[in-house]
Amino acid sequence: MENTTINGYKLKYKLGEGGMAEVWYAENYLQKPAAVKVLQKRFCGMPEVVSRFENEARLMVHLNHPHIRNIYDYSTVDGCPCMIMEYLEGKDLSQRMKEGMHFSNRQLITWWNDLVDALQYTHRKNIIHRDIKPSNLFLTEDGKIKILDFGIAKLRDNVTVTQTGSRMGTLMYMSPEQVYDVKTLSYKTDIYSLAVTFYHLVSGVAPYDASKISDFEIQENIVRRHIDTTVLPDPWKGLLPLYLGKNPEDRKELRRIDADITKSDETIVFTPVPPQPIETIYPPLSTHPAQKTGSNRFGYIFLVFLIVTGLIVFALNKDGILSMFGVNQDANKPVAEKPVPKPRVKKQPQPVPSEDLKTDTVDARNDTMTSTQVVTSEDLGQKEAEIRNRINDYYRMRQDCGSLSRFFRDTVQQYYNRSDELLTRIQKECAAYHGKWRFTEADINSSSYVFTYNPNGNTYVDFSMLYKIKQNEADDWIPYNIDVSVVFDQQMKIVRIVERRIEKL
């Protein structure tokens, strides 16, 4: 592909490669630089992926804003679609944070104001980005911030790309509605994601620790728990909560920050608090006139002289002075006691571990702590096999809506995107669903199972499956790749079930 010319731009060398596309450095006849984004060959035969790529080009070509990466043209190369874009030198904010870059309060306020302008501009055009996060915010070498990657953006009135219900975006920065209701997204989802992104930039800490909690628990936190912004400095402590409401209607419209709201340019990210100088810890000496007189100063000096002289005289004549007062120093010495020997404790032999008591240590997490459970390999294997069978039975028998009581209690804590759902309502919904989709199959990838054991007895299970549906026996199957999270209680009842990702094939 090197030296290929596309719409007047010659490809010079590859700049990088992502999950879906390659990016090449190119120049035109006048040596104007450009970045050419080319869809990877393996995706060029997938209509849905090509459509998503074309969607990005179609949206970006209508955008002309100083803080949004510009697109110049759209074409194809070797049978694959490509975009000719503005060439940027610099790094995204995610890379900058990984490298330990310090962001000053003044920088952050400037970036916030620029991004507010950019998003208000796109929202006026009814374009929703849907994936605002640090890695999609690019900081150029001259200090300008730009929004990248409109690949999963959508027009508010165009649901072509989203009608399958696919959950697109990066989980850590998703809005609650992206987790549970992707079909009815509004521009308020960008507002929430921008606020979460700046929480990370300002505090230096991601809102959720993905190394300690599962994706399922992160989703739970996004939907149910408010981010604590009280740890942030001003003006962020009072500003970001306006945009972090769980209900989109509770989020305020984005507004700029007064650039003069902070007088200092203090670095507030990844910066330790400097130690306080010693001289400022103690209060200064009083400057009252009475304490400055010469007579008072002479009196203090004479008093100190008398005390020091007395101590020296006492040290030189200690024995004589003590005997004058009848004090016998030897009488005050403690009498040495012979140590009483301790009785020997007979050493008990250590028990020999039985070969039948082999154990596995399993890390189990709950919402507030990490604990360690010890379970036998045999019990663990039996439990996991039982859960696998339970899941297979659930998907095999889903069409028999009356049998759902085998798998659920009368009230389910979370049933997909709803909380505290009554079993009777689930059964009615089941009957309506399978009245339309009369044929379903679930092919679960057995190697995808991940089990997490909670000290309260619940078991978290994550797995992936190929799920197929059709209305009539003669119809072609409609396939979906789905990632599922299920929580079983100790009685093997499903207390929570959610679909974390749905991708129509």
Residue numbering of the annotated binding site? 37
Tokens (6 digits) for 275: 């130690």
* Strand spans (E) along 40-193: 71-77, 80-86, 90-92, 127-128, 137-140, 145-147, 154-155
**Cα–Cα distance measured from residue 119 to residue 57, given in angstroms and rounded to the nearest whole number:** 18
Q: Is 182 exposed, middle or buried (0-12, 13-18, 19+ CB in 10 A)?
A: buried
Other Cβ atoms within 10 Å of 31 Cβ, number: 6
- One-letter amino acid at 102 equals H
Which pair of tokens denotes residue 421?
């759902």
- Report the alpha-carbon distance of residue 204 to residue 97 in Å, rounded: 8
Nearest residue to 450 via CA among 417, 484, 419:
484
**Is residue 473 flagged as an active site residue?**
no
- Residues in binding site for ATP: 37
Nearest to 118 by CA among 146, 155, 149, 144: 146
Q: Residue 337 and residue 324: Cα distance in Å, rounded?
A: 31
Q: What is the DSSP letter of 161?
A: T
- Paired strand residues for 28: none
Reported residue count of the chain is 505
Strand-pairing partners, residue 501, are 483
Contacts (Cβ under 8 Å, ≥6 apart) of 273: none
Judge whether 265 and 104 are in contact, CB under 8 Å: yes
Q: Which of 2, 89, 141, 355 is catalytic?
A: 141
Residue 109 to residue 307: CA distance in whole angstroms:
62
Contact (Cβ atoms closer than 8 angstroms) between residue 112 and residue 121: no
Active centre residues (catalytic): 141
